[in-house]
Amino acid sequence: MHPALNIIIRAARRASQIINRASLDLEHLQVTSKRQSDFVTEVDKAAEAAIIEVLHEAYPEYGILAEESGHTAGQAAGSEYQWIIDPLDGTTNFIHGLPQYAVSIALAHRGQLVHAAVYDTTRNEMFTASKGGGAFLNERRIRVSKCLKLEDALIGTGFPYRVQEHIDAYLAIFKDLTRKTAGIRRPGAASLDLAYVACGRYDGFWEFGLSPWDIAGGALLVAEAGGLIGDLAGNETYLQTGNVIAGTPRVFAQLLQVIDPHRKPGLNA
């Protein structure tokens, strides 16, 4: 295992200790709202600080993009490496006691994802991947499902809550896919949704309006597990656009076909 991935795992486990302790006393949790339906807690901030401490100690020269603190200071200018951190993906689930949330950490080199982990703290499931090295769940190799037909596929998604100007297009896609798939699920943590595509629990996934830290960890998992991931046009700009489609190779192509007519006008890739 690459040393950087070891550090990612260590940081994720450090954050999980904070999250798991807080989950036992949700009544006293301090919650604020960044915008409608977008919450942040003291746990998000403490978990992020713990992650950054572990990463910065090991690689002080690397840049950091984190959900709560944004581009953090203290990094070498122009670093080719950047950590992309979501300390608690699924905060809304967490504050309601719904056990579907995760820690997501990825490392990018010159904009390309090279190492990642998504850690489901409630189930002790550690999903990891390194570019060219495959994807794993608790050190067991994982692959996307063998699903070939959209009609047989179980698809994950997430209702856009940050940017809602495309809600009508989203609902139209949801309606189409409800008719053309075996089922749709919306648990509320995109990093885990992508991890579930990687290990075959889902056959595909789509969502709009995500941030890089929502996608980065799970994206590398999908790619290294033999799946495809792209923006709404099937290209590799999903970290920039925040719009993402993922799935087995066949399901990915069929999702693109269903979604494409709803992209116009106004909804770019």
Q: Which DSSP category does 208 fall into?
A: S
Give me the pLDDT at residue 13, please: 98
Helices (H), the chain: 3-23, 42-58, 91-95, 167-180, 190-198, 212-224, 238-241, 249-259
Q: Is 172 helix (H, G, I), strand (E, B) or coil?
A: helix
Give me the pLDDT at residue 40, please: 64
189-220 residue pLDDT tens? 999 999 999 999 999 999 998 999 999 999 99
Residue 188 has pLDDT above 60, yes or no: yes
110-143 residue pLDDT tens? 999 999 999 999 999 999 999 999 999 999 999 9
Q: What are phi and psi of 83, to 5 degrees?
A: -80, 140
154-165 residue pLDDT tens? 999 998 766 667
40-85 residue pLDDT tens? 678 989 999 999 999 999 999 999 999 877 655 445 557 899 999 9
Residue with tokens 């290209």: 235
* pLDDT classification of 226: cutoffs 50, 70, 90: very high
CATH numbers and ranges of domains, the chain? 3-142 (3.30.540.10), 150-262 (3.40.190.80)
> What are 63-67's contacts with CB under 8 Å, separation 24+?
65/212, 65/213, 66/213, 67/211, 67/213
Give me the pLDDT at residue 125, please: 98
Whole-number percent of the chain with pLDDT over 90: 78
Give me the pLDDT at residue 74, please: 44
Q: Which of 212, 189, 198 is nearest to 82 (CA)?
A: 212
Contact between 128 and 116 (Cβ < 8 Å) = yes
Top-confidence residue, 247 or 34:
247
Residue 38 has pLDDT above 50, yes or no: no
What is the rounded average pLDDT of the residues 223-230?
Answer: 98
**Cα 140–chain centre separation:** 20
Top-confidence residue, 4 or 24:
4
**Other beta carbons less than 10 A from residue 65's beta carbon:** 19
Q: How far is CA 163 from CA 40, 86, 178, 187, 212, in A?
A: 17, 19, 22, 18, 15
Q: How far apart are CA 90 and CA 20, in angstroms?
A: 14
70-79 residue pLDDT tens? 655 445 557 8
Q: How far apart are CA 238 and CA 77, in angstroms?
A: 25
Whole-number percent of the chain with pLDDT over 70: 89
pTM: 0.92
Residue 35 has pLDDT above 80, yes or no: no
Top-confidence residue, 266 or 76:
266
